[in-house]
Amino acid sequence: MRKIALKEKANFLKMLAHPTRLMILEELVKGVKCVNDIEELLEVRQPNISQHLAMLRHGGLVDFYQKGKKRCYFLRRTETIRAIVKELKKIRR
């Protein structure tokens, strides 16, 4: 049982271990963003953003709703992600 829990924790950390995903989460901490908003803010191409959002969604960190043709994303585990982003900001120099 302990090995399963440790593996889940390791997978969670792997999911966060990419600069683009961290940037996306930092933006979503500020509020709901549609894919085109994220594309403009991060200067990353839409297909790449969509791949990262799919991974975050599969991991249960974000979800979305449709707004016309747009997909707008929001945090699911808001307090957890806010705490992580806050701690990571302390690392910046």
SS3 (DSSP) at 43: coil
- The pLDDT of 3-26, averaged and rounded, is 91
Domains in the chain, number: 1
pLDDT of residue 1: 62
pTM of the model: 0.89
| In the predicted structure, residue 93 carries a pLDDT above the cut 70 | no
Nearest to 61 by CA among 92, 5, 22, 88: 22
* Host domain of residue 7: 2-89
Q: pLDDT tens across 16-32, in order?
A: 999 999 999 999 999 99
Joined together, the tokens standing for residue 13 give: 């950390």
How many Å apart are CA 71 and CA 33, to the nearest integer? 9
- For residue 45, the one-letter residue type is R
- pLDDT at position 79 is 93
- Is the alpha carbon torsion for 6, 11, 15, 19 positive or negative? positive
47-92 pLDDT, tens digit per residue, is 999 999 999 999 999 999 998 999 999 999 899 999 999 998 888 7
Residue 43 gets the label, from left (phi > 0), alpha (psi -120 to 50) or beta, of: left
CATH number of the domain at 29, please: 1.10.10.10
